[in-house]
Amino acid sequence: MRKQLALSAILLNALVQIAGAQVQQTARIGDLKLENGNVISDCVIGYRAFGKLNPDKSNAVVFPTAFGWQSAGLESRIGPGKLVDSDKYFVIAVDSLGDGISSSPSNSKIQPGLSFPQFSIRDMVNAEQRLVAESLHLSHLRAVIGFSMGGMQAFQWAVSYPGFADKIVSIVGSPQLTSYDLLEWRTMQLALESDPDWKEGRYTRQPALRLANMVNMLVLQTPQFMATNTSRQQYPQFESGLVQGPDDLDANDTLRQIQALLTADVAAPFAGSLKGAAAMVRGKSLVIVNKQDHVVNPLPAIEFAKMLHASLIELDSECGHRAHSCEMKRITAAVAAFLEN
């Protein structure tokens, strides 16, 4: 058995090296049945691999993307001395559904545009588990780690696949949205859908989404941080930059990810009970929140962390939701210590 494990690890590392370390890769996982009963046909999941899988395949870490991010954006968080050390861990940066790399409204030939079905955070995690188990042939993970929407996926991994990962790390994520979160994301959705160029999803050029981006920036950082770091004189230039650029997500991709966030709730199968969801979780968890986060209210994560007897770090940063960047030194040290022990 040990020889088989070692051979499997060698083959997987060889495949990664042949494809080119850290380059964009994709895996076809077949039709993905969604929790709403719909199906994503011929589902494709994107990913990038960093580091090497050890002989007993015990050092794999899944790192799903945040809202609006693609796996290329996670590269700056992976490596020696960074959030996840690829000298120690085989890191799989996974493109979440709807990010324009994995199956999305913008790239599906079978279900283009808004014919692409709505999906949930739970569906994202189910797709990622199939990538890990069926395409990469891993039956166990050292950890799942993520920030923002990636942190929500980390919580969902813990509940949907208890024991699959030894450890769970959620950074500025939430197991269940509060009424404030619902108000915020619903406002974002309506702002997107009101864009004159959106044309009910049948646009021929990408909408600017100026209002949606302004709503996003309004909550992304605290008023104090904005007032301190952007002067009145700088504001006109700041606002003019709040339009979609060539590297931003397609508008319909953004809409589907917003809709996924609006349904984020690990407790849904347990009649809304976080205690019921927490009872499913196995292994250890690290939960990091920011008390001044206006994008993801920290209260549910704090409550869930206590139910899990998790390690809990409560930041108090004027960076708001961007504390995952501003407090990176402290977060990196905490994550490194947690993964090692």
Rg (CA), the chain: 20
Residue 22 pLDDT: 83
> Do 271 and 155 share a structural domain?
yes
Number of C-beta neighbours around residue 171 at 10 A: 29
For the chain, the domain total comes to 2
Closest C-alpha among 70, 43, 51 to residue 131:
43
Contact, 332 vs 83, CB < 8 A? yes
Boundaries of domain holding 222? 180-259
Which two three-digit tokens encode residue 285? Answer: 């968890």
Q: At what angle do helices 149-160 and 251-262 cross, to 10 degrees?
A: 50
Question: Is the same domain home to 100 and 233?
Answer: no
| Residues facing residue 26 across a β-bridge | 46
- Neighbouring CB atoms inside 10 A of 179's CB total 8
Q: Are residues 22 and 137 in the same domain?
A: yes
User: Which residue, of 206, 231, 259, is where some domain finishes?
Assistant: 259
Q: What backbone torsions phi and psi does residue 255 show, to the nearest 5 degrees?
A: -60, -45
Give pLDDT tens digits along the chain (341 positions). 444 444 444 445 444 443 345 899 999 999 999 999 999 999 999 999 999 999 999 999 999 999 999 999 999 999 999 999 999 999 999 999 999 999 999 999 999 999 999 999 999 999 999 999 999 999 999 999 999 999 999 999 999 999 999 999 999 999 999 999 999 999 999 999 999 999 999 999 999 999 999 999 999 999 999 999 999 999 999 999 999 988 899 999 999 999 999 999 999 999 999 999 999 999 999 999 999 999 999 999 999 999 999 999 999 999 999 999 999 999 999 999 999 98
Looking at the fold, whether 186 and 320 belong to one and the same domain comes out as no
Based on the domain organization, do 158 and 219 belong to the same domain?
no
Same domain for 293 and 171: yes
267 in the same domain as 239? no
Helix, strand, coil distribution of the chain in percent, nearest 5: 45, 20, 40
**Longest alpha-carbon distance in the chain:** 67
Q: Are residues 214 and 265 in the same domain?
A: no
Q: What residues are paired with 30 via a beta bridge?
A: 43
| Same-domain pairing of 243 and 154 | no
Cβ neighbour number for residue 111 with a 10 Å cutoff: 17
Is the backbone of residue 111 left (phi > 0), alpha (psi -120 to 50) or beta? beta
Residue found by looking up tokens 């709807």 in the block: 98
State which of 206, 232, 259 marks the end of a domain. 259
Q: Which of 230, 259, 288 is the last residue of a domain?
A: 259
Using alpha carbons, select from 145, 123, 131 the residue that is nearest to residue 260.
123
Do 17 and 50 reside in the same domain of the chain? yes
